[in-house]
Amino acid sequence: MRQFESRQQLQQQQQQQQPVHESVRPSAHVPARSAATRQDVDNETLDRAAALWTTRRIRSFFLLLEQPSRTTQR
């Protein structure tokens, strides 16, 4: 009986000393880190492409404004 009590006390002490680590699992809606990194790269590429496209459209618009207006004479 004494041995059993000592074993229980030892187990309790070990449980108190060990830090409690909750199981950290990513949720179903949260992608894994490697997938998120790849997605971040894809998003960055798309953002740059969109910015470049927008910049070109704006430049084209201003170039059209700078051109002298053509009056059609008949």
> Can you give the residue ranges of every domain in the chain?
34-66
Higher pLDDT, 65 or 29: 65
Higher pLDDT, 53 or 69: 53
> Is the per-residue pLDDT at 19 higher than 80?
no
Q: What is the pLDDT of residue 68?
A: 81
User: Contact 26/32 with Cβ under 8 angstroms?
Assistant: yes
The angle subtended at Cα 55 by Cα 50 and Cα 60, nearest 5°, is: 125
Q: What is the pLDDT of residue 58?
A: 95
User: Is the whole model's pTM more than 0.85, yes or no?
Assistant: no
